[in-house]
Amino acid sequence: MVDQISWIFRSTDWNNDGKPDNIGVKIVTMTLGWIPYKQELPEHYDTPKLALDYLKIFARMNFSSCCLGVGFTNRQFLNGLDGISFAASRKAHGGICDHRNPLEGFMRSMNIILISARGLDGSQLSMYHITKALTHELGHAFGANLHDNEHKAHGCWGFQPGEYTEKQPASTPKLGRYIMWPKSSGDPNSKPLSNNLRFSTCSKNEIALVINERRQLKNCFIPDYNPFCGNGVVEGLEECDCGSVLDCAKQKCCGARLSTKPCMIMDAKACPLNPIARPFYGRNEILNNSVGSNLTSNYSVLLLIPFIVTIIWRDLSSY
């Protein structure tokens, strides 16, 4: 799950310079078995709780040593929520690397996310839904304060030029909604639409401001020189890198991250003569005007990764 989310983040061009910024996430530590309501009777476990109340309890844990704390619970949230977080902002507390702050008489961690594995009817959510919820809340934690429908630009709603009409404002875009749309859309068993795996321009603009500000903080973003197939940058022994799921689907030359030959030449005949002109080859040069093993990186890649501590817990009183 985290690998899939990191793939989306690493292959995203946050600053709109036409190149992926290679900013991803990874797990540092995991903890099992935290009990938020110690005095609660077992028969009360299935009673939905306000997500914000749960978040405030989770916030009492100290995540000062990491960029972000992520909690998973099997408790159903009220009001149809499947995730909640303190959103990052340049004007208020919350989000990545914003650690302990006073709130309602307690010092609380503001760099946290909480995800419920239960749906509206109390049923268990699929891994697809949980991954989607976590990606959405990470967007908030990274700086997307507004949902896409709160922006005035219809392009950030998922509509292509000329697609939106005032007569059908509630219609669904052909390419689907972006990640920061407030409600999940689409069949979880169907193939995701193009926009479902992307952040809108509006969200990227908000997130870019927070990234630029907080990457200056100590122990927030750290360099990682390990290759990551799928970030759009050719590294290490990679022959190519077609980038995101969507970009890889547009070509047959390079193997995608989850293919049988990740970041290796799949079909040399389908490769362009000058891969540097194609975005799925990343920021690299080609030698001797050929493909394959002659691809080489012309500089070292600096990957900035926020530390994430993932806390997976369950209320043991349910047993």
CA nearest neighbour of 65 among 203, 189, 200, 218: 218
For residue 76 the two structure tokens come to 């159903």
For residue 226 the two structure tokens come to 């390990």
Judge whether 137 counts as a catalytic residue.
Answer: yes
φ/ψ bin of 289: left (φ > 0), alpha (ψ from -120 to 50), beta (otherwise): left
Q: Give the position of tokens 């935290």.
A: 34
The catalytic residue among 40, 43, 137, 166 is: 137
What are the residues facing 138 on neighbouring strands? none
Active-site annotation, residues: 137
